[in-house]
Structure 1
Amino acid sequence: MKKITTLLATASVCAGMLMSFNASAVTTLKVGTWLPPTAPQNAVVWPTWAKWVEEATEGRVKVELEYGLGHPKSMFDLVEDQVIDASFTVNGYVPGRFSLGKLAELPGESPNAEKASVALWDVQEKYFNKANEYDGLKLLGLFVHGPGQLHTTFPVNSLADIKDKKIRIGGGVVNEMGQILGVTPVGAPAPKIYEMMQQGVVEGVFLPVLDLKYLRVAEVSKYLTAFPDGMYTTTFSIFMNPDSFDALSEKDQQALMSVSGEKLSRLAGKAWGDADADGYAEAKANGIVINKLTDSDPMVTEFKAATASMSAEWIEQADAKNVDGQAALDMFRSLAK
């Protein structure tokens, strides 16, 4: 009897220790990134979100960055295959899969990255979720970078000057825009741009101004042509493996999402948009000729006329996915501007 009592007591203590261990166990989410440590996503967005997640889960969930995992487009596969738990990348790197997010990329629609990022998330929640474009992924946030501009090794005084020029494009709406403008498109991931411009493989790129610093484009470019509302922008998704998400307790799932969604989208949009100031400073430091256009500039008028049909084409694409394209565009415009 005494032995049985002792065994029961020991079992009770062990069970209590196990429960205590499980309650205090820490889950570390591995987050993949493909940009350098100084880029806004890695210097601002991920560290801030990691702090939010840790605080919201009372230390039960932590975030760890992993660099150098390959081409940015591979992030979707790496997360879906649970090689890593979460990541972010450019929607346009996977043509056809994420067509609805191109709404925010349309010329002149996203002059402010923070407002546009929040607007895109809200439109996603109201109109786009039902299209299931993120099937196989847990969507955590959406954002855009600052207005995309034109960076070249030659002066640009009219749109005719870029016709047939070898221009790097990155996917999404910018590909369609480049076709309309008659450039010779050269596809490549963002980290390859410095090398391509240095070697003369391309004569220009469409990029936000921040990349003059963070991708060192200021060292290989000579001219910046800046449109007042930008030429386009790029949609990024922040996503997680559904099984990794489901492995968290319900309490921690709710905590993680409380610091994701619109809050994470706003954080990312603001960080990327604010970084354009660093790009302009880098341009001046490297002697780049900056041509800031105004709404009355003939080149701006010409650009707006050339790209005017793109919004109608996007509406058709949205309608084909049983999404009210016009209503989504109207909502986005009212929130983004």
Structure 2
Amino acid sequence: MTRSLVGTALAAVIATSFTAVSANAGTELLFSTFFPPQHVLVKDVLKPWADKVAEATHGDVTVSFAASSLAPPPKQLDMVQDGIADVTVQFAGVVPNRLTTLLIGAVPGPTTNTKAMSVALWRTHEAYFEKANEFDRLRLLSLFALPPQMMFGTNGEAISSLEEMKSARIATTPGIAAQAFGAVSSGVVAGPAFRYFELVSKGMVDAFVAVTPIDVVGFNLAPYTKTATDMGDLGTAGTFALVMNEKKWRRLSEENRKAIMSVSGEQFARMLETVDTRNQAIIKQLEADGVKFVTLPDDLRKDLAHAFAPIATDWIASVEAKGVADGAAALKFYRQAQADVAAE
């Protein structure tokens, strides 16, 4: 065999080997989130979803989790857009100008359960929110909510009247929650929920809002919590987007993209039922530890409904400014979808 033929044959072998390796190498997606590894969302939703992705793609696409968040909570979208990580979940509450549509969960209204709210959020996005184009350079994989938020008290009795609320010192997260409770109390202290511990443990506030029973335990607030008030049809919930880097998404085969979406979207949203289960277990734990769970008194509910009314109006205007055709219809659709799923 001549040297030329040998070279040609060797090149062919190398090319064939490279093609075979490339075909079988698969794609590993790096998932970074600010939620700690032990959080129920990570353990019981995100990691099982990653397993489903691997199964659906027959091992072509796998998901690994960074040991810690590669960016602070407000920068999760930027992190994925810039390719620092491939996948993340972004809390809408810390990027209100970017994920305005998702703040539908912060508009006081009926809150059923985590699964129902999550499915309703995804269906509402498909029906109304896509035109807002809030996911530039990202591939939206799913949307979800965490459990209904409650008003927790640090004193022996829960706040039961508007007069009590007016003089109460209330810790809230920034944004809509601060706006809502700022309309009825001059003692609002706004800041990230992870900073509640200092305020609550030192007795600096009478109540704290915009968090769930899971958060009460997670942020070590349980020893200082005496009451928990169900906000009824004035409830709110934190909302999130599961997103992937668009360039990385486009590099996947069409078959693998379809496989990933088969376990994402509404299917992922339904996985949030496990978070409901965990939340209910924590409620029982808190009750056993002496926390008194109550419902919002009718008179206070009416007063708060009046005070909170501008929030829905403002949200509707903000999403319509982004291209949503009918914000009021979207809100109605979301609430009906919640009820439909909850009734399944």
Identify the match of residue 222 of structure 1 among 223, 226, 230. 226
Contact 1:54–1:62 (CA<8 Å) still a contact in 2? Answer: yes
Contact 1:138–1:242 (CA<8 Å) still a contact in 2? Answer: yes
Q: Confirm whether residue 158 of structure 1 aligns to residue 161 of structure 2.
A: yes
SS of the equivalent of 2:73 reads coil
Contact 1:138–1:245 (CA<8 Å) still a contact in 2? Answer: yes
Identify the match of residue 336 of structure 2 among 314, 329, 334. 334
Q: Confirm whether residue 179 of structure 1 aligns to residue 182 of structure 2.
A: yes
Q: Structure 1 residues 82 and 70, CA, compared in 2 at 3 Å: closer, same or farther? A: closer
Q: Structure 1 residues 75 and 227, CA, compared in 2 at 3 Å: closer, same or farther? A: same
Contact 1:218–1:282 (CA<8 Å) still a contact in 2? Answer: no
For the residues of structure 2 that align with 1:250 and 1:52, how far apart are their CA atoms?
A: 17
Q: Confirm whether residue 194 of structure 1 aligns to residue 205 of structure 2.
A: no
Aligned residue runs from structure 1 range 242-257, under 5 A: 242-257=246-261
Q: TM-score w.r.t. structure 1 length? A: 0.89
Question: Considering only aligned residues, what root-mean-square deviation do their CA atoms show, in Å?
Answer: 2.3
Q: Which runs of 5+ in 2 are unaligned?
A: 340-344
Q: Which runs of 5+ in 1 are unaligned?
A: none
Contact 2:110–2:232 (CA<8 Å) still a contact in 1? Answer: no
- Kindly provide the CA deviation profile for residues 214-236 of structure 1, in whole angstroms up to 9, marking residues without a partner as x: 33321232221223346311211
Aligned amino acid, residue 45 of structure 1 = V
- Kindly provide the CA deviation profile for residues 2-45 of structure 1, in whole angstroms up to 9, marking residues without a partner as x: 54444433333222211111111132211112122232211111
For the residues of structure 2 that align with 1:61 and 1:6, how far apart are their CA atoms?
A: 37
For the residues of structure 2 that align with 1:190 and 1:245, how far apart are their CA atoms?
A: 33
Number of aligned residue pairs: 334
Q: Confirm whether residue 117 of structure 1 aligns to residue 118 of structure 2.
A: yes
Shift of 1:89: 2.6
Contact 1:212–1:280 (CA<8 Å) still a contact in 2? Answer: no
Contact 1:95–1:171 (CA<8 Å) still a contact in 2? Answer: no
Aligned amino acid, residue 330 of structure 1 = K
Farther off after superposition, 179-188 or 95-104: 179-188
Q: Structure 1 residues 204 and 23, CA, compared in 2 at 3 Å: closer, same or farther? A: same
Shift of 1:201: 4.9
Q: Structure 1 residues 170 and 28, CA, compared in 2 at 3 Å: closer, same or farther? A: farther
For the residues of structure 1 that align with 2:192 and 2:260, how far apart are their CA atoms?
A: 30
SS of the equivalent of 1:73 reads helix
Q: TM-score w.r.t. structure 2 length? A: 0.88
Aligned residue runs from structure 1 range 118-157, under 5 A: 118-154=119-155, 155=157, 156-157=159-160
Q: Structure 1 residues 26 and 186, CA, compared in 2 at 3 Å: closer, same or farther? A: farther
Contact 1:110–1:147 (CA<8 Å) still a contact in 2? Answer: yes
Contact 2:170–2:205 (CA<8 Å) still a contact in 1? Answer: yes
In structure 2, the residue matched to 1:54 is: 54
Aligned residue runs from structure 1 range 67-82, under 5 A: 67-82=68-83
For the residues of structure 2 that align with 1:27 and 1:177, how far apart are their CA atoms?
A: 45
In structure 2, the residue matched to 1:33 is: 33
Shift of 1:164: 4.6
Aligned amino acid, residue 15 of structure 1 = A
